């Protein structure tokens, strides 16, 4: 009797265990491992909710148990608001980061999980990530084979030019190289008898009245072969020689020569209006800008006869463009990590990113969407340039922008020679990197 009693007890325990397991399996079927609904909060900058409405709606159809709520913040306060909220435990599950922020804010992010319950495959591997997105994304947004964010678009610098000015100067096409820029500037710039620039050929040379002047100088440096940092990213090296040449000095010299009255390329100075304003007012032949400047120009000057051309290069055999964009990552403090990453995987998929790009008019980050945008008159040039986009390790992008702007001013106002200005800037950036 004692043995039978023990047998009945064991059978009962096994039956209960099987029943509980069966119930848990049923609850998980179709829910990708979820047992309850969740709300994923998403913070961004520059894009209002209309940029994501369709994507969120489509994702909700696929994952009815996950609700995504997006909120836009002002760029002026976004970074500090985000840091404060995350420190207080009130931050979002997903937030947008600038492509230079991983060195500065990587500790706030959690990488793509290796696996998610209910999914047979990982959302991303390094191989699939690199095959889907252009090269600069892996350079900026991954670290030690971990993926920390996904790009929704890639913007690059390009050349905006006034067709009427080019026609009047009998110039049949925009310049493709900086040597051609030099020749075109000579043909387009007008200087009156008092020595004042009445018609600038191109907005280059200064820091404060040129949109993204420091990005332009960085692009020139990268095109020239400058190694911006050491291989271990512990020091800045843009003052170092490359192939026996001080290429960083040559790039800074070339850029500031456009604001030097003693140089043949003189076509701009601090007395000119802000570059975008001068261009939209029909007073400037060429300016360098990003894709979003197109909408600004059209809004301010709907009748302006302008076009967009690829960014001039030091060598058309080795094209290098400068990347500036925002990407989305998941907070380290998120309680919905798996759900948040599932949304980002869909947002950055071909369908998800297509909906985002259609709503915003931005150039693609995905390789398969670049081909679809290639012939677009507004985004095509920028989309193709994403394939050759470059970036560099910036410990603090805002501080570095100030350092580069001051370096340009130091040269223009004769506060320092080219070598001294570049050396001082390099030392200051190195201090940032070693903090």
Helices of type H across 337-417: 337-347, 350-360, 367-373, 380-385, 397-412
Same domain, 178 and 144: no
In a domain, 31, yes or no: no
Same domain, 174 and 317: yes
Query: Which of the pair, 339 or 435, is modelled with greater confidence?
Result: 339
Confidence of residue 318 (pLDDT cuts 50, 70, 90): very high
In a domain, 198, yes or no: yes
Domain termination residue (choose one: 389, 405, 425): 389
Confidence of residue 25 (pLDDT cuts 50, 70, 90): very low
Domain ranges, residue 196: 156-322+395-433
Same domain, 425 and 295: yes
In a domain, 218, yes or no: yes
In a domain, 224, yes or no: yes
Same domain, 261 and 308: yes
Q: Which helix (H) or strand (E) holds 177?
A: none
Same domain, 285 and 183: yes
Lowest-pLDDT choice from 9-18, 125-134, 187-196, 248-257: 9-18
Of 316, 361, 346, the C-alpha closest to 59 is 346
CB burial readout 350-360, b (16+ within 10 A) else e = eebbbbbbebb
Q: Which two tokens stand for residue 259?
A: 């604001």
Same domain, 110 and 192: no
Query: Which of the pair, 235 or 31, is modelled with greater confidence?
Result: 235
Of 64, 67, 286, the C-alpha closest to 171 is 286
Confidence of residue 15 (pLDDT cuts 50, 70, 90): low
Return d(Cα 16, Cα 397) in angstroms, integer.
60
Same domain, 298 and 422: yes
Q: Is the pLDDT of residue 284 over 60?
A: yes
Give per-residue pLDDT as tens, 92-142.
999 999 999 999 999 999 999 999 999 999 999 999 999 999 999 999 999
In a domain, 280, yes or no: yes
Instruction: Tell me the torsion sign for CA atoms 375, 377, 381, 383.
Output: negative
Q: Is the pLDDT of residue 12 over 60?
A: no
**397-412 vs 418-433: helix crossing angle, rounded to 10:** 170
The pLDDT of residue 232: 96
The pLDDT of residue 16: 44
Same domain, 182 and 69: no
Q: Is the pLDDT of residue 23 over 90?
A: no
CATH assignment of the domain containing 161: 3.40.190.10
Confidence of residue 7 (pLDDT cuts 50, 70, 90): very low
Same domain, 167 and 259: yes
Q: Is the pLDDT of residue 31 over 90?
A: no
In a domain, 27, yes or no: no
The pLDDT of residue 32: 40
Q: Is the pLDDT of residue 36 over 70?
A: yes
Return d(Cα 331, Cα 96) in angstroms, integer.
10
Q: Average pLDDT of 282-292? A: 98
Report CA Rg, the chain: 27
Q: Average pLDDT of 71-92? A: 97
In a domain, 18, yes or no: no
Q: Is the pLDDT of residue 33 over 50?
A: no
DSSP three-state, residue 288: strand
Same domain, 195 and 284: yes
Percentage of the chain lying above the pLDDT 70 cut: 92
Give per-residue pLDDT as tens, 172-229.
999 999 999 999 999 999 999 999 999 999 999 999 999 999 999 999 999 999 999 9
Length of the chain in residues, anyone? Answer: 435
Same domain, 144 and 245: no
**418-433 vs 247-257: helix crossing angle, rounded to 10:** 120
In a domain, 111, yes or no: yes
Q: Average pLDDT of 144-162? A: 98
How many of the other CB atoms lie within 10 Å of CB of 205? 29
Average pLDDT, rounded, for the chain? 93
The pLDDT of residue 435: 85
Of 25, 55, 23, 31, the C-alpha closest to 350 is 55
Same domain, 217 and 307: yes
Instruction: Tell me the torsion sign for CA atoms 99, 101, 102, 108.
Output: negative
Confidence of residue 261 (pLDDT cuts 50, 70, 90): very high
Lowest-pLDDT choice from 22-31, 235-244, 377-386: 22-31
The pLDDT of residue 5: 53
Tell me the β-bridge partners of 68. Answer: 40
Number of domains in the chain: 2
């Amino acid at each position: 009797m004692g043995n039978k009693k023990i047998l009945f007890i064991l059978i009962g325990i096994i039956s209960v265990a099987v029943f509980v397991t069966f119930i848990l399996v049923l609850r998980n079927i179709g829910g990708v491992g979820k047992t309850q609904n969740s709300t994923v909060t998403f913070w961004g900058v520059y894009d209002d909710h209309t940029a994501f409405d369709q994507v969120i709606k489509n994702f909700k159809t696929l994952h009815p148990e996950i609700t995504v709520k997006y909120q836009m913040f002002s760029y002026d306060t976004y970074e500090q608001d985000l840091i404060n909220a995350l420190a207080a435990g009130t931050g979002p599950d997903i937030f947008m980061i600038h492509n230079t922020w991983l060195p500065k804010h990587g500790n706030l992010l959690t990488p793509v999980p290796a696996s998610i319950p209910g999914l047979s495959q990982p959302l991303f591997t390094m191989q699939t990530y690199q095959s889907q997105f252009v090269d600069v994304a892996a350079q900026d947004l991954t670290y030690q084979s971990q993926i920390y964010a996904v790009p929704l678009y890639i913007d690059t610098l390009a050349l905006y030019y006034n067709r009427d000015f080019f026609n009047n100067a009998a110039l049949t096409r925009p310049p493709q190289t900086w040597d051609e820029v030099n020749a075109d500037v000579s043909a387009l710039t007008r200087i009156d008898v008092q020595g004042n620039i009445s018609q600038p050929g191109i907005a280059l040379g200064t820091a404060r009245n040129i949109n993204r002047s420091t990005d332009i100088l960085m692009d020139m440096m990268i095109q020239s072969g400058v190694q911006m940092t050491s291989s271990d990213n512990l020091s800045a090296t843009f003052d170092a020689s490359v192939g026996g040449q001080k290429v960083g000095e040559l790039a800074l010299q070339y850029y500031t020569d456009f604001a030097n009255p003693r140089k043949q390329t003189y076509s701009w100075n601090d007395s000119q209006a802000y570059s975008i304003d001068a261009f939209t007012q029909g007073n400037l032949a060429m300016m360098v800008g990003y894709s979003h400047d197109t909408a600004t120009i059209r809004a301010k000057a709907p009748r302006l006869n302008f076009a967009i051309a690829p960014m001039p290069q030091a060598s058309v055999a080795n094209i290098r463009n400068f990347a500036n964009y925002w990407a989305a990552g998941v907070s380290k403090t998120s309680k919905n990590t798996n759900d948040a990453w599932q949304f980002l995987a869909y947002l950055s998929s071909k369908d998800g990113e297509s909906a985002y790009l259609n709503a915003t008019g931005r150039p693609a980050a995905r390789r398969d969407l670049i081909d679809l945008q290639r012939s677009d008159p507004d985004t095509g040039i920028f989309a193709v340039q994403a394939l050759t986009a470059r970036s560099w390790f910036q410990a603090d992008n805002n501080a570095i922008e100030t350092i580069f702007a001051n370096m340009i001013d130091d040269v223009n106002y004769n506060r320092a020679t080219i070598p001294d200005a570049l050396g001082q800037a390099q030392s200051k950036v190195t201090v940032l990197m070693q903090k």
